[in-house]
């Protein structure tokens, strides 16, 4: 298997579907909703970092603030 960074869109789609199917096994609707929301946040955050690469350096600050909540 090639590196995820070098994969074409078809390979990425196949990996995403396989991972989703594996994670969904035996999960309730509520658990699936939580997993879906989690990965949506991860994807959205990665997209934001792609738009402003310098923001990734501020992750430690953001995590510190989140721990105080």
pLDDT 10s digits, 12-60: 999 999 999 999 999 999 999 999 999 999 999 888 888 887 776 666 6
DSSP code per residue over 5-36: TT--HHHHHHHHHHHHHHHHTT--HHHHHHHH
Please tell me the pTM assigned to this model: 0.66
């Amino acid at each position: 298997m090639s590196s995820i960074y070098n994969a074409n869109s078809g390979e990425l789609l196949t990996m995403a579907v396989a991972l989703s199917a594996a994670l969904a096994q035996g999960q309730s609707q509520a658990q699936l909703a939580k997993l879906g929301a989690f990965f949506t946040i991860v994807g959205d955050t990665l997209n934001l970092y792609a738009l402003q690469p310098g923001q990734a350096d501020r992750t430690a600050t953001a995590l510190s603030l989140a721990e105080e909540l």
